[in-house]
Structures are given as C-alpha cells and as structure tokens.
Amino acid sequence: MDEQAVIKSLAALAQPVRLKVFRALVVTGSAGLTPGTMAEALEIPPNTLSHHLKELTAAGLVTTERSSRHIIYRAAYAHMNALLGYLTDNCCAGAGCAVDAGSAACSC
C-alpha cells in the first residue's frame, strides 16, 4: 500500500461518524448493509450518511454493489488488511513490535 492511500484511509477514519459507519460494516460482514438500514440503525440522517459513505468509498475502505433497486455497502477487507499491514510493518522504525497484552501500546 502506498503512503498516499494510507493517508487517505486514515483521514477518512479520523471522523467519528465515518468510523462508526465503517465499524458497522466490518461487523456486518460480507452481507453488507443498505444505506436505509444503516441510517436507521446508526441514527444518522440519510443525506449525512451519503456524504460519509462517499468519503469511505473514495478512500477505498468501502465497496458498493447494486442489487436490483438497492445499493449494498460492504467493508473492503483487503484494503483494511493492507492498511493494518502497512501500519504494522512501519511500526517501531521497522523493528519488531512486541505488544503488551495489557495495553494497545507498542513496546519498541
């Protein structure tokens, strides 16, 4: 994953509503969600949700598929895994990263 894609992805996730939407899509899995279902479940106005889905899609974190009259949104797991891989590979200036089980902090 190139640095610009990483920056765009992290910027997209650095907003509370977008992070909430992305987490909901990750938890839902491959079935995905329609915008109407997301708007209702997450209590986000449809026009606001549309804006955030556009940003997540542009960042490569979300995919769309048309199913008859509906659009299904899904988390882009390959992109998410590439982002996590990039962050892990570049942690601790390239040195191995030992994560303490009691914290999320990397002990380099």
pLDDT exceeds 80 at position 107: no
pLDDT of residue 90: 74
Alpha-carbon gap, residue 52 to 42, rounded angstroms: 13
CATH number for the domain harbouring residue 48: 1.10.10.10
Q: Predicted confidence band at 48 (pLDDT cuts at 50, 70, 90)? A: very high
Query: Structurally, how many domains does the chain consist of?
Result: 1
pLDDT in tens, 50-77: 999 999 999 999 999 998 999 999 999 9
Average pLDDT over residues 36-49: 96
pLDDT of residue 104: 53
Nearest to 11, CA basis, from 59, 43, 47: 59
The residue segments making up the domain with residue 8 are 3-107
Rounded to 5 degrees, what angle do the CA atoms 78, 26, 11 make? 70
pLDDT of residue 93: 62
Average pLDDT over residues 18-33: 96
Nearest to 67, CA basis, from 35, 99, 38, 39: 35
Output the pTM of the full model: 0.82
